[in-house]
Structure 1
Amino acid sequence: MRILFNSRKYDGIAGGVERMSISLMNAMVARGHQVEVMSLDPGNATTFYPLDPAVRWTRIDVGDPGRKARPSEMLERLWAMRAVVRRFRPDVGIGFQQGAFVALAAAALGTRTPVIAAERNAPQRFEHLKDGHGREFQFASFRQARFVTVQFDSYRDHYPEHVRGRIVCIPNPVPPAEGAAAPAGRDGSRKTLLCVARLSYQKNQALLINAFASVAARFPDWDLELVGDGEDRDVVASLAASGALGRIRLAGAQTDVGRHYRAAHLFCLPSRWEGFPNALAEAMAFGLPAVGLAGCAGVNSLIEEGRTGLLARDAGAAALAEALSVLMVDPDRRVVMGAAARKAIASYAPEAVFDQWEALFEQAARR
């Protein structure tokens, strides 16, 4: 089977969308399928995550993918993508995120290529974005999709009726952890509250910094470590430098995140919304109990309140600090919750998830 992927950009990006789509491409190549991917990257672009050399990568290289394209650039990109579709003649195409799906659907018009829209965020995200009219455009565009994939079935009811019949729920794969955390820690040793995420408005690290700063004096043996980089780095760095007695570390983007999970004792993801929170799932796979916001779609689907972690009752720093404190003070409870978290994440084994994707590609190609 010939599978064509489309995504906006890969060059050096250590994000969840890039990691997930590359993992899926590599898995489909390993299963004997022909895979090609298009992106708007420049010709010298490289991926942060390893891409199988058997995957043909067409870099469209028209304009700057980091800004809004001019009409002439949009047209040139469309014709370049259409040339790829005609040359490769895919049995099925898939666009990761809204813009990539719309572009691929337009490029495939008249070719009878079935196109899948891969949603990577919960539809509840529109509640946090100023561009509310984007919701109507996105939902209307899904009429061009053979299928729409989401990561949790609970998202289905947040789409209009005409979309629900096309929705297929496929979670992200979570690889087995290489080692395990020891969430109790040792008496007298320093302990780490870990957050792994892009530094951004969505991931909401400012809330976590404020919450930690409010309890830091009560827990002098705890530090906060933020792994990741992003557009809010300067803001986050400024907040980190001004609070919590210098006990907040910014580690930047890391290729070996596993060592940070193994060294941590508690995980927190304070996101406003998610799709499938990869870092949270990975932390749980290492046996870390986790804290998040009860109102965050995706986070509240992975953390089982009182069993694998705790959910702050609201989106305020006081509520998050309260939830963190409950676990920071109780090593035995961290151990019990961490073990339950590790067991819960086992259901997202990569091969089982890739089986679902392969079956969906085959179903889309048959119709």
Structure 2
Amino acid sequence: MQDVLSQDTGTHAGTTPLISVVIPTYRRPELLLRRGLGSALAQRYPNLEVLVVMDGPDAETAAALAAIDDPRLRPLTLPHNQGPSAARNHGVQHARGEWIAFLDDDDVWRPDKLTRQMGLAQRSAHPLPVVLSGYIGRTPYGDRLYPPRPKAADESLGDYMFVRRPGRPPGSAVFGILVLAPRALALRVPWPTHLRNNEDWDWLLRLEATPGVGFEQLAPEDASTLAIYYQGEDRPTGSGVSTWRPMLAWAQEHRRAGHLSDRAYAGFLLAQVVPRAVRAGDPAGLPVLGRALLATRPGPHELASFVRQWAVPAPLRRRLRRWLNTRRPPIRLGDVLEDGGTEDSGGAPDPLMAVTPSSRPPPADHQPTVRVTFLIESMTVRAGMERVTATVAGGLSALGLDVRILTLRGQTSAFDLPEAVTLTSLGLPEGTLRMRGQTVPLARAVRRELQRQRPDVLITVDTFLAGFVFPAVLDLPMLRVAWEHFNFRSDLNMRSRRLARVVAAHLGHRVVTLTRQDRDWWRAAFPLARATVTAIANPLAVDRPPVNPYSLQSRVVLGMGRLDRQKGFDLLLRAWAEVEASYPDWRLQLYGQGPEEQALRELAAGLGLRRWELCAPTPDVAAVYRAAGLYALSSRHEGLPLVLMESQAYGVPAVAFDCPTGPAELLSAGGGALVPEQDVTAFTSALRSLMSQPDLRQEWSDRAYAGAERYRLEPILGQWLRLLAAGRGGRVGAENQNR
């Protein structure tokens, strides 16, 4: 940060400055304790105080707060009811922290929200950074994830919130509960006590106009579950009833002040003011708002929106909206912070730790969560596809989703699953799946089990299974997702795999690829497909160490994976034969099992290899990566190689064949050498270069370790949540619109 911020806030990167959380409340202690205060006190940020400001005398809330034994809690009381803005300002005035975060008593934060925001604030170049998070918008009709896209650097806040342009993903409304800001700024720009509506937007627009202020925003895929913002609940709120005339006056004032552009002003009229005038049945609204809109020189889509709202009678619009909202059950992304898991959840990935124990009975407003079933051939093999399935399933379960894994064969999992994830097997005999002769009995068995489980979402792990299953479940009300784990140009010489991809594209709702390159191949091959194709990378299935553990003293070249032709270990053995004699202190270690084990041993014997080992798969992969000096990826083709991703997390520099998809994406930040496909001579040369240059190994190790940050579990789970929240008919989000 620049010196201005240091002078204003006393904050320096690398410290943990005090954050003051301000929660206004009035006469609803049960809601305060269950939502706002509970999630504030559950924050993992280590230096925190929570100021609960009672907006007037409130004996019941005061008694409830007095019973909480937590030194971070500071109750305050206003002498009489003045509104939530006055309560927030009172909290800011009495805060001791250098930073302020606002939270309403009926909303919820994820436990790592403030940690994430403070990390971004301390990296900001703005003198007065205002850090925004994303959120889940929760209504009685379901959940939606916001924002659909990040705010552009040159985009005003008003344009981001209110402007809607055809062909461009919309921005998002921003609220006070999403903000982390310097206390000095909150003192300089207080909340508007004269307003009972639009207080959040008024305050934020005035913040933006303050010299030195710059908005920072956590990436949507990483931040869309950091808060739950409740809307449309049948209970009193702290704000007043909104009518169209005061809202019009407010917008006109901010337009005159330059806080709202003409397009933002028009967007606000169409989204906020016109609907209220129509609902009120006020005949004066049409000419008044018509003139206001025409003053902005509206575009055709804005005029059409205005006419459409006035042309359809308000009662009919309400009935139509209720009908559309009740056509399917609510999409619930889990009670992310209220009921979503516990610290002892069976060793599951826990990116979104729950505030309350899962043994606690669900609250009165609890609604069923999304039921997700992963369909996979087997979970008994220690391989990449099975490992990433366990990781994503466990992560979604930790978010509060009801997750199940359905296997065709095998009653167990080679990887740990949290207790909440149930594994069911159809008990089919071992053998190779073939469409001819097996499609009908397999489809029948899967259909029967899915009718029993009744999932909201079916994810076939590998698009090959979609060819068997999707035609048999077309009438079942579920989102059908095909998860591609190879790439479109790799069909393993199987005509049935090519056919299965046609089925997935035209009978599925979503196809998930591992890379953008593969996504583009799918789109080019199926331009008229029903399914939306989106790219979601595999997440890291190992814990990335807090510091790079790589050691230049290591002399192990590592390879890991299933022992089959795809992984190309025969090519790696031939390359090793060229370098083994020149580097007597190095050795080659391969970990895996599979059909080519005997052939590889015979090849190594024929090549006269002495310093190499073929080891059985181990659950302690962390120790294997820590002992590696180089990683060798010799695959003939890949989707997104998980082993290369994991080796980067441990800072291991790599040599890899440049497969059509996978290695280039993972090594785009550096950290390894890409050589032409199946070019053993080039692979040998790259090994020699790294083995003989420790300085280069260290440089590439640092790049590899930094690059692995992109594949943390939390942002990738966020992408999966956005896909699930889009439902069968919605867009997945900006990923598919912008790239």
Relative to structure 1, the CA distance from residue 102 to residue 140 in structure 2 (aligned partners, 3 Å threshold; closer, same or farther) is closer
What are the equivalent positions in structure 2 for 1:1-367 lying under 5 Å apart?
1-11=370-380, 13-42=381-410, 45-66=411-432, 68=434, 71=437, 74-126=439-491, 129-131=492-494, 134-159=497-522, 160=525, 161-163=527-529, 166-174=532-540, 175-178=542-545, 180-185=548-553, 191-243=555-607, 245-304=609-668, 307-364=670-727, 367=730
Q: CA deviation at 1:181?
A: 4.2
Q: Is the 8 A contact 1:312 1:322 kept in 2?
A: no
* 1:298-339 deviation line (CA, Å, top 9, x unaligned): 11221238x311111342211110111111110110000000
Q: CA deviation at 1:263?
A: 0.6
Distance in structure 2 (CA, Å) of the matches to 1:212 and 1:164: 47
Amino acid at match of 1:342: Y
Distance in structure 2 (CA, Å) of the matches to 1:239 and 1:180: 36
Amino acid at match of 1:157: D
* 1:195-224 deviation line (CA, Å, top 9, x unaligned): 111111110000001001111111111101
Q: CA deviation at 1:124?
A: 2.5
Q: Is the 8 A contact 1:195 1:269 kept in 2?
A: yes
Amino acid at match of 2:714: E
Counterpart of 2:211 in structure 1 is none
Q: Which moved more, 1:284-293 or 1:308-317?
A: 308-317
Distance in structure 2 (CA, Å) of the matches to 1:53 and 1:227: 29
SS of the aligned residue for 1:271 comes to: coil
Larger radius of gyration: 2
**Where in structure 1 are there 5+ consecutive unaligned residues?**
none
Identity across the alignment (%) = 28
SS of the aligned residue for 1:123 comes to: coil
Normalising by structure 2, we get a TM-score of 0.46
Q: Which moved more, 1:176-185 or 1:285-294?
A: 176-185
Alignment root-mean-square deviation, CA: 2.2
* 1:133-157 deviation line (CA, Å, top 9, x unaligned): 7435523442111111011112223
Amino acid at match of 1:20: V
Distance in structure 1 (CA, Å) of the matches to 2:468 and 2:531: 22
Amino acid at match of 2:462: Q
Distance in structure 2 (CA, Å) of the matches to 1:123 and 1:29: 29
Distance in structure 2 (CA, Å) of the matches to 1:231 and 1:16: 16
SS of the aligned residue for 1:246 comes to: coil
Q: Which moved more, 1:155-164 or 1:309-318?
A: 155-164
**Where in structure 2 are there 5+ consecutive unaligned residues?**
1-369, 731-739
SS of the aligned residue for 2:637 comes to: coil
Q: How many residues align?
A: 356
Higher relative contact order (CA 8 A, sep 6+): 1
Q: CA deviation at 1:166?
A: 1.2
Distance in structure 1 (CA, Å) of the matches to 2:450 and 2:533: 24
Amino acid at match of 1:28: L
Relative to structure 1, the CA distance from residue 183 to residue 164 in structure 2 (aligned partners, 3 Å threshold; closer, same or farther) is farther
Q: CA deviation at 1:69?
A: 7.4
Distance in structure 2 (CA, Å) of the matches to 1:365 and 1:34: 18
Relative to structure 1, the CA distance from residue 109 to residue 136 in structure 2 (aligned partners, 3 Å threshold; closer, same or farther) is closer
Amino acid at match of 1:57: L
Q: CA deviation at 1:74?
A: 4.2
SS of the aligned residue for 1:162 comes to: coil
Distance in structure 1 (CA, Å) of the matches to 2:572 and 2:399: 42
Distance in structure 2 (CA, Å) of the matches to 1:203 and 1:164: 33
Q: Is the 8 A contact 1:281 1:302 kept in 2?
A: yes
Normalising by structure 1, we get a TM-score of 0.90
Distance in structure 1 (CA, Å) of the matches to 2:531 and 2:466: 18
Distance in structure 1 (CA, Å) of the matches to 2:584 and 2:597: 25
SS of the aligned residue for 2:601 comes to: helix
Q: Is the 8 A contact 1:228 1:251 kept in 2?
A: yes
Q: Is the 8 A contact 1:271 1:296 kept in 2?
A: no
SS of the aligned residue for 2:490 comes to: helix
Q: Is the 8 A contact 1:181 1:265 kept in 2?
A: no
Amino acid at match of 2:390: I
SS of the aligned residue for 2:428 comes to: coil
Relative to structure 1, the CA distance from residue 163 to residue 324 in structure 2 (aligned partners, 3 Å threshold; closer, same or farther) is farther
* 1:267-307 deviation line (CA, Å, top 9, x unaligned): 111111111100001001100111111244211221238x3
Q: Is the 8 A contact 1:183 1:338 kept in 2?
A: no
Distance in structure 2 (CA, Å) of the matches to 1:361 and 1:233: 40
Distance in structure 2 (CA, Å) of the matches to 1:91 and 1:298: 31
Distance in structure 2 (CA, Å) of the matches to 1:136 and 1:55: 31
Q: Is the 8 A contact 2:656 2:683 kept in 1?
A: yes
Q: CA deviation at 1:366?
A: 6.3
SS of the aligned residue for 1:325 comes to: helix
Q: CA deviation at 1:123?
A: 1.5
